[in-house]
Each structure stands twice: as C-alpha cells, then as structure tokens.
Amino acid sequence: MKIAISFLLAAAVVVLLAVFALRDEPLELRAAGDSVAPVVDAPPPAVKQDDIAVPDATETEAAADEPAIEIVDSMDLAVLLREYGFGRLEGEWRNWAMSRGYPVPDGSDGYVYEQPYDQYDDETLRGLASNGDMWAQQILAKRISRTNPAEALELYRDAAIRGSIYAMSEMANLYARIGDKRREVEFKSQDSALEQIYAMRDAPVPPEVSGYAWTAVAEMSGTEPMFGNVAASQLARRLTDEQKEEACSMAQGMYDEVVERRNTLGLGDFDRRPPPIVYWDPASAPICSEDNEPNMDLSGCRQIQMTEDNQTNTIWICADE
C-alpha cells in the first residue's frame, strides 16, 4: 500500500533516515506492509473538501477512550493532516523522538544536540556518560563499537536505562554484527575486540538471540512501530523458532531489570505517550506479544481506519487540533 502524504516525508521519514544514518550498514526502506511507508517525492494532488467524509458532531465529541473511527483513503488523510499543520506535526515528532534517544538531523550535516557531542574526545564523553548523560553514553558506544564492543553494549544499556529506545535498537544491531562471521573484519583492528566477539559467540545465549530480545524490550518500552521492528526483521531471518521463543522469554526479565534500575534512579517506568501520528499495519504486530496495538497510551488519540488496495491500516492522530 502506498501512502502519498507529505507527513510521512516531513516527519516519520525524517526521523527514520536519521536512525539509518547512524547505523554502520545501509538499510533499505521497507514497503508499508513491512511497517515502513515509502518515501514520496512530491505532495499529493489537491483534494476538494466536499469529497472528504467529515465526522459529525457526535463523532468529534466521542470519549477519549473511544475515539471516532473514520474510513478514509490516503488523499483524504493528507487533507485531514493539513488541518493539524505539517510543520507542527514534524516538530512534535522530532521532540518525541529526541526524548527517546533518536538522533534528529539539524538541517545541515549534523544532528540536534544540546551539546557538541561529536566534537568531544572519548575521555570527555566517558566522563559525561559516567554522570548519566544519555547522549554521551550512546554516542560513545557508537564510536567504540568496533574496538570495544563489550563496553559499547554496556554504554547502550546505560542509555536505555536513561530512556533511550534508540539505544535498545542499536544494541540489537551490534549483537547482530557480532554474531555475523561475514562482518568479523570490522573488529580486526583490535585483538581485544576479536576476543570479545569470540567470547560472546561462545556464550550460552547467542548474540543474535540477545539482539532479538532487545528489540522486544524496545517494543515493551513504547517504540514507534513504523521503525521499531527494523532490527527485529533482520534478526528474525537468522533465528530458529526455538531461538525466537528463547529471546521472548528473556525479554520480560530484561525489561523488568531496566525498569528496576530506572526506579532506583527515580525515573519510573518508560513514558508511553505516543508521537503525534502513529501508523499501524498488520506487519507491525509486536514480535513477542499477541497485542494488536502499539504499547502506547492511545486513549486520547483520534483513531482512523484507512483502506486502500484491499488492505486496512490503522492510524492514530494524537496531536491537538
């Protein structure tokens, strides 16, 4: 299914490309059936307001826990989203993503940070990381992932405890690289790095299983479904059904441990407030749960059913009008 709406270019894809830009390997944007909508190069054609099914008063006054459901197509949705303002939606999406550790482009060659982390040396980043700076933790982890993968995983775990859902996905990606013998050359610059990855491959739990488990922890913590399953879909192809079950069994304990650490730090459970737009299709279903909705608080959102090409997808608009 193709969704020709500017929002997916202006908001979701902007964050998605930022995530991909910081990965070590290029990732292909998946079709919407795989949870990521395709990038579009131009806004949709104009649609007359008379052609749009506008909800009546009873629908707009529906209770927050029973949002109005409309059947629209992609062009109708584009017009509906224009009422909210694409620029505002993108800004709210960026703020939501950054609060969960996702790097967002600054419009030039860098990313939006409160400090110039990319200019800091490792020692400076390590000092900030030791004081609980989430961004320093995951940026340093990225920097040393080839030379000291074991420390990188610890730093990503610390960033996850501080609230970074992105760090959980990065842990999954690093575990996938560690377990892939074809990518062993990435770690050859340091003998100690090779020793670490060999030790992890010989551990009772294979790296790919650990990585898959972290993707499930990210889902439990409230990741965005449009790009939440990228690492999971890659790892799933390398795991048996038994290994997937093992990973899902591990994930609950890992999640409980992270939340316990957050409680110790006075941070509480993860913030499950949704971004301004949540897009959901059948392929977005959590990998370790039978739930048919994202693990977010959608009670105040406007729910829309969109049907095109004989496929129905759900979209929640969670921004204020």
Average predicted confidence (pLDDT) for the chain: 79
Last residue of a domain, one of 264, 288, 305: 264
Q: Which pLDDT does position 321 carry in this prediction? A: 73
> Higher-confidence residue: 320 or 67?
320
Residue 257 lies in a domain: yes
Q: Which pLDDT does position 247 carry in this prediction? A: 95
Asked if 206 and 297 sit in the same domain, the reply is: no
Residue 214 lies in a domain: yes
Asked if 208 and 146 sit in the same domain, the reply is: yes
Residue 1 lies in a domain: no
Query: What is the per-residue pLDDT across 258-270, written as a single tens digit (0 to 9) for each?
Result: 999 999 999 999 9
Residue 312 lies in a domain: yes
Asked if 152 and 283 sit in the same domain, the reply is: no
Is the model's pLDDT at 255 over the cut of 70? yes
pTM of the model: 0.78
Asked if 128 and 152 sit in the same domain, the reply is: yes
Q: Which pLDDT does position 32 carry in this prediction? A: 31
Q: How many structural domains is the chain composed of? A: 2
Asked if 144 and 258 sit in the same domain, the reply is: yes
Asked if 249 and 311 sit in the same domain, the reply is: no
Asked if 192 and 170 sit in the same domain, the reply is: yes
Q: Which pLDDT does position 14 carry in this prediction? A: 35
Query: What is the per-residue pLDDT across 223-248, written as a single tens digit (0 to 9) for each?
Result: 877 665 667 777 888 999 999 999 99
Query: What is the per-residue pLDDT across 60-110, written as a single tens digit (0 to 9) for each?
Result: 344 445 555 777 777 788 888 888 888 888 889 889 999 999 988 877 778
Q: Which pLDDT does position 27 carry in this prediction? A: 34
Q: Which pLDDT does position 46 carry in this prediction? A: 34
Asked if 30 and 10 sit in the same domain, the reply is: yes
Asked if 296 and 214 sit in the same domain, the reply is: no
Residue 109 lies in a domain: no
Residue 101 lies in a domain: no
Asked if 187 and 254 sit in the same domain, the reply is: yes
Residue 200 lies in a domain: yes
Q: How many angstroms separate the CA atoms of 153 and 220, rounded?
A: 19
Residue 105 lies in a domain: no
Asked if 255 and 169 sit in the same domain, the reply is: yes
Stretch 113-136: mean pLDDT: 95
Q: Which pLDDT does position 228 carry in this prediction? A: 59
Asked if 124 and 184 sit in the same domain, the reply is: yes
Q: State the residue range of the domain holding 80.
A: 6-95+273-317
Q: Which pLDDT does position 314 carry in this prediction? A: 86
